[in-house]
Amino acid sequence: MLEEVWGWRPRCVLVVSTGGGGDAGSAAAYAEIMARHGARVAVAALPWERYVRDPCPGPIPLTAVQGAEPLGPGLARVLPGRCLATRCGRVLEPAACAAARVLRGTPVYLLEGWLGPLGLAAALEEAASLHGCEALLVFDVGGDVLACGCEEGLWSPLGDSLGLAAARHTSLWGDTVVAVHSPGADGELSWDEVLAYAALAASMDGYRWLRGIASRERHVFEEILSTVYTEAGTIALEALRGAYGEKPIRGGTRRLRVDLCKAATLFLDAPAVYSWAAARHIERASSLEEARRMLNSLGVYTELDLEEDIRLLSLEKGAEPGPEVARDARREGRRRLAPCRACSNQVITGPH
């Protein structure tokens, strides 16, 4: 398995889940599968829960987490037992913490999402050095890590861009691979858009592997995802159980097609992806806030903008944020920005 992805066999791989939400659960499942193929693995995840679970905008600060040991700026190790966070008066279990309860012997780390790429890169270096990891796997469910920023269906470009830009600053960049698990499963980039970007990577000699979930591996995903709140992550499992056809997710704000292709994982060379992805625009951001402003200046509306707008609308309406609030907030937020110009080398973009 390692040879197919990297062309050689790294002694340890750091699996990095930066998209937030339940992506950490699928990343942990894939790390477990890699371990069963003889690799030593560690998992690092950005604890950024979706607004339906966490009403506070932005990633969960590590200072708000109990049950994780700080290891330096931007990094904390999940401890055995329960790992919980307090946000806006709610107590919740971040997805990475839930996954860690199931993993047996695989270390799980939390990343400080409010750092910019340089600070986050230092945290990744620290996690990798603790285990002698020689390669990075930037793991994303759905494929928005591939986005250039102007795609019509794109809802959450910031977290994945932050992670890819951080990987760019590490000493392991030459051995970094992007894994797109369950293409299109988050209802953002479509299957066709993911394939178009994969073709662009292949034209740059950036194709590594296309792999499905073996039937004997299904239980790994079932066990871990049974503890993790995730809509996108469960699409691959639904497909493996025989689901087929159109499906609404995120309260009906998005639709996707469920089929066995959703159980695939696409591996692409990270430098090839970086050459067009939105991540390249935030490479020098000193914080998450600055990264957001950089994307906004190019007409890219981010999930941080969305969560802040949803929070404001919810407070005005005195109600919990529903799908209509999310749609209204995104539509008005995108309208406030100038026309998107982040995609000079894009494959596909929609109207903005």
Q: Which of 17-26, 105-114, 266-275 has the lowest mean pLDDT?
A: 17-26
Other Cβ atoms less than 10 A from the Cβ of 3: the count is 11
**Angle between helix 95-102 and helix 218-225 axes, rounded to 10 deg:** 120
pLDDT, the chain, mean:
93
- pLDDT confidence tier of residue 352, bands split at 50, 70 and 90: very low
DSSP letters along 122-171, please?
HHHHHHHHHHT--EEEEEEESSGGG--S--TT----HHHHHHHHHHHTST
Element (H, E) at 75: strand 75-78
Region 277-290 average pLDDT: 97
Per-residue DSSP letter, 302: -
Q: How confident is residue 328, by pLDDT bands cut at 50, 70 and 90?
A: confident
Q: Rounded to an integer, what distance in angstroms lies between the CA atom of residue 311 and that of residue 325?
A: 9
* pTM for this model (two decimals): 0.95
Q: What is the pLDDT of residue 346?
A: 57
- Is the model's pLDDT at 279 over the cut of 80? yes
Q: Distance of alpha carbon 126 from its chain centroid, rounded? A: 20
C-beta of residue 143 within 8 angstroms of C-beta of residue 196: no
Q: State the DSSP H helix or E strand holding residue 220, giving kind and residue range, or none if neither.
A: helix 218-225
Is there a contact between 220 and 197 (Cβ–Cβ < 8 Å)?
no
pLDDT digits (tens, 9 = 90+) for 123-174: 999 999 999 999 999 999 999 999 999 999 999 999 999 999 999 999 999 9
Query: For residue 225, what is the enclosing H or E element?
Result: helix 218-225
**What ranges do the domains of the chain cover?**
2-287
Q: What percent of the chain has a predicted confidence (pLDDT) above 90?
A: 83
User: Residue 37 burial by CB count (10 A; 0-12/13-18/19+): exposed, middle or buried?
Assistant: exposed
Report whether 110 contacts 72 (CB < 8 A): no
Mean per-residue pLDDT, 165-190: 96
Fold of the domain spanning 2-287: Rossmann fold (3.40.50)
- pLDDT at 315 (0 to 100): 80
Residue 321 has a pLDDT of 67
| Average pLDDT rounded to a whole number, residues 48-76 | 94
Confidence of residue 121 (pLDDT cuts 50, 70, 90): very high
pLDDT, position 72: 87
The per-residue pLDDT for range 208-234, each reduced to its tens digit, is 999 999 999 999 999 999 999 898 899
